[in-house]
Chains A and B, each alone.
Chain A
C-alpha cells in the first residue's frame, strides 16, 4: 500500500496528536515526558519532542538501537545548526535547505540504527 508523503505525514500528525492528548488525560501531572515511542509487529515509532513542541519522528525496524539519541542529535546538531542559525530558513515554514538535507542524511547514516539494519 502506498500513499503520498503529504498524506502520510497528516496521518502521523493526527495520530501523534491523539496519543499526546490521551497521555495527557491519563497522566495529567507528568508534563515532562509524554509519549516517546510505540512498537507494532512491523515497526517502531520513536518520537522526540522539544520543549518548543518541535517533534522529531522516526519509524524504524522493531529492534533498531539508539534512535532517540539520533533524534536528539538531529535537533541539537542539525536542526539548530542549519535551520535556526540560517536566516534564510523561516520558523514554521517547510525546510528547503539542501545543506540541512545533506547533514540530516549524514547523521542518520552514522547512527547505529542505520548500520544495524545492514548487518
Chain B
C-alpha cells in the first residue's frame, strides 16, 4: 500500500497542488476500498482531483458525465445495432448468425462497463452525479457495492479489477443517504490565496511568483464581495492568462487593465455592475 507521504509526493509530482486533506482521502480510498465523494461549488477543481489521481496511480481516467435522463445504455453498455443489422443481412438464410449476434463482438462498452473490465484498475470519474436521476443513483449504488453487471443476453460480468471511483456533486439535487454513506466524503473549498498562487504559478506559463501572489490575493478579495456567481479556479486561471497575455507584470501599475479584464472573473451583468471602478481600486489597495 502506498503511504500517505508517498501519495502527497506523487500528487506534487503530477502537477496538482493538493491541500493536506486530499492525500489522506486518497490513502483511505485504497485502504477501505470506498469511493470518494467530492462536493463543493462549481469551479473549485473537483474534476482535477480525479485527473491527479489517475496520474498518481499512473492509470487511465474513465469519465462518465451525468445528466438528467442518463440511462443504462449511455452509461453501461449498448448493442451495436447497425453492425447487428448488417450481419443479419449478410448472413441471411444461415442459422449460425443468431448465436453470434449477442456476443462480445457486437457489444459497445460504455464508461461503467469499461471501468470494471480493464486489466489495470482505472480511475472512474462519475462527474456531477447530482444531475442524474434518483433511479440512476440507485443503480450506481448497486454497481459500486458488487462491481458486477448482468447483461441479459450475455450473463453476468464481474469486475476484473476494482476501479478507483471518484464522484463529484454540485448540490443541484440532494443525494441519497445510502450513496453518501457508501462514500468517503470531502468538501472541496476555494483554495486559499497561497495555494491558488501556487496553482497559477504551476499552470500559467509566464506568470512570475509575485504576479501570481497578487492575482490570487485579488481573486480572494473578489470572492468576498457579495456576488451572484463566485469565480472559481478556472476563472482565476483565465484571468491570469489574460493578464500575462497583456504583458502585465505588476497589478498596481495598470489598475485600468485590471478593471477591464475582470470580465474573466465576473460572469453576470449584476456582478459586473457591483464591482465598480472604485471597488476594483479598493480591492487592489488591499493587495500587497
Answer yes or no: do A and B interact.
Answer: no
Name B's A-contacting residues (CB within 8 A). Answer: none
Name A's B-contacting residues (CB within 8 A). Answer: none
